[in-house]
Amino acid sequence: MTHQTASECVATIGIDLGKNTFHFIGMDARGRIVLRRKVSRGQLQSCLANLPVCLIGMEACAGAHHVGRQLAALGHDVRLLPAQYVKPFLKGHKNDYRDAEAIAEAVQRPTMRPVPLKSAEQLDLQALHRVRRRLIGQRTAVINQIRGFLLECGIAVRQGPAGLREALPALLAQRTDVLSPRMIHLIEDLAADWHGLDERIETLTRDITALARQDASCRRLMGIPGVGVITASAMVAAVGTGAAFAKGRDFAAWLGLVPKQISTGDRTILGGLSKRGNRYLRTLFVSGAQALLQRPRYWDGHGFGRWLQAAGARLHRNVLTAALANKLARIAWGVLYRGRDYEAEYATRTA
């Protein structure tokens, strides 16, 4: 079979992405390999532009969304697959061509749920969230280090960043009996780092807030109790319109807000939360649920007060928090997917 004839027979392509070189396998409608090529990053688009419209599979990794948008603009049906879904299709020893073959096999399965292609705006918003999350982790590390140094000198400060921030100037000025000049200077430097991280986090938060207020989907999500600007923008950045999920329960399961199932035979065994999927987004929904549970006087106005009161009478506080986070996630998917504002009266009727 000539190269031109093989190109005309291609129905499915699996691409193993790399930094500079890509390996791809082309299969015909019967699943036979009819094309095997290695191209540079700059050659990929022009190479696939000469092929008939076909199904293209890639692993969802760094740079996959950019390449996917380029190939989708050529008319191809591009689908991104999570790496763990591709692994079972890998045969024998691993190499780049076999990786591409496994991707081509996996993308043809009708039960595979692909990762939706993210737009450039989604990736920008996601990048802001990731940098903000990293800076918050660094700030927490600095605060813990200050606490550790003070505790080594016999000084215990009440829990919470606010308590340490309030007590630190007085401690550095008055507790010279246990704090050496070197230690005071070191803690002052750490406090300066803390202040600098606060300013950077605040700047990123303002940028995220400005983008969220310009987006109609984010504004609708912010109308849901327990969902603020950070959660709303993170959800839009992660799932777009939510079209990848058939229903809200699927979205909650993807977030890991459902019990882990270890069933066998006719025995249904449910464990703790599965904690799969987007850990950052799951944490935000759990935090929103915790904030709602601390304000019981507002429950009736949110539309699910009766449900919370009934569930609170029989569930442990942590279980109730997880159940409420699951409910908020399902409501958020419905608002995002259907493009409707949150209605407390409707939630009251369906609770």
User: Would you kindly state where each structural domain of the chain is located, as residue ranges?
Assistant: 3-107, 120-214, 216-350
Q: What is the mean pLDDT of the chain?
A: 89
pLDDT tens string 148-202: 999 999 999 988 899 999 999 999 998 888 889 999 999 999 999 999 999 999 9
pLDDT score recorded for residue 1: 53
297, pLDDT greater than 90: no
pLDDT score recorded for residue 92: 81
Q: Looking at per-residue confidence, does 349 or 79 come out higher?
A: 79
Quickly count: other Cβ atoms within 10 Å of residue 145's Cβ: 15
The predicted model gives 236-244 an average pLDDT of 90
Spell out the alpha helix ranges (H) of 175-316.
Answer: 181-214, 216-221, 229-239, 248-255, 279-293, 299-302, 305-312
Quickly count: other Cβ atoms within 10 Å of residue 306's Cβ: 12
Q: Is 48 within 8 Å of 26 (Cβ atoms)? A: no
| C-alpha dist (Å) from residue 122 to 33, 195, 215 | 35, 29, 11
The model's pTM is: 0.86
pLDDT score recorded for residue 113: 86
Cα angle 11, 16, 20 (rounded to 5 degrees) comes to 125
Percent of the chain with pLDDT over 70: 96
266, pLDDT greater than 80: no
Q: Which CATH number fits domain 3-107: 1.10.20.10, 3.40.640.10, 3.40.50.720, 3.30.420.40?
A: 3.30.420.40
The predicted model gives 23-37 an average pLDDT of 90
